[in-house]
Amino acid sequence: MLQQTRVAAVIPYYQRFLERFPTPAALAAAEEPELLAMWAGLGYYSRARNLQKAAALVAETFPSDYAALLELPGVGTYTAAAVASIAFDQPHAAVDGNVRRVVARLTNDGLVDAGRVADELLDSKQPGRWNQAVMELGATVCLPREPLCEACPVAKWCAARLAGTQNELPLKRKKPEAEYLEKTLLIIRSKGRLLLVPGVRVAGFWDLPEPFKGVRVGAKLGEFKHTITHRHYRFLVFEGVASRIPADGCWFEEEDLGKLPLSTTAKKALRVRV
């Protein structure tokens, strides 16, 4: 869950998730719609699918070293090192965005191999604590913008601090060209049910339909903005009345929506008010 996601955003999800899936076996046995419903809002949904695959693999025997952890779907070098060091006291530097930033500044080198440097600096006697300490340093002191160098315990060894280049590091990769799109979403109700279709923007989730053959578009209910990676959407929300529904459309009781993987866009649309 923590991959590319802030700790504060994860915590409530983590708690609910572990209540519902207290063991690897429980997670492995879940149906994908419920899994996605539990994950909805966290983003990067392949993480959820990978975690479930991994749960099945670890249910019998949990891998206890870096190489075996790395084999698990969804576990890359960072996660394998984090678990190996924190849970099993093995000397692997966990290099996340925080550590890359700290190392780039410490060396004043935007092209530095952060993994190599972190492995050299690692306290192999307590690698878990070292990893968490460096990540925490990055999260609380060596901030992306305007780092708190005055409060930094390693400022006197920091080459960027000496050179005054801390605000220019680490180098950021250029982002893809933004795309701006406008879409219409339809709220179509009948007999206490809501019409949904398989999501076209986020796979595995149900979403509100866009205008289709056989629908009459009614009053505008509101609008909202939502961004998915580099695509910036403006969604216009209208009422609709369907004389016939799309082949892949499905009616759902309103009170069952909580158990469905419902897209963030659909959730936002159902909240809009003019």
Q: Which residues of the shown chain bind DNA in the complex (CB under 7 A)?
A: 2-9, 40-46, 50, 73-80, 82, 96-98, 101, 131-132, 135-136, 138-139, 144-145, 172-176, 178, 180, 201-203, 226-230, 232, 263-265
Residue written as token pair 């007999």: 191
Least Å from the CB of residue 241 to DNA: 27
Least Å from the CB of residue 96 to DNA: 3
Closest to DNA by CB, 98 vs 107, is 98
Closest to DNA by CB, 21 vs 78, is 78
Least Å from the CB of residue 192 to DNA: 26
Q: Smallest Cα–Cα separation from 17: which of 6, 8, 59, 40?
A: 40
Closest to DNA by CB, 15 vs 46, is 46
Closest to DNA by CB, 209 vs 242, is 209
Least Å from the CB of residue 172 to DNA: 4
Least Å from the CB of residue 167 to DNA: 10
Closest to DNA by CB, 42 vs 215, is 42
What's the CA gap between 252 and 190, in Å, rounded?
Answer: 10
For residue 25, CA distances in Å to 19, 22, 52, 68, 205 come to 13, 8, 9, 19, 24
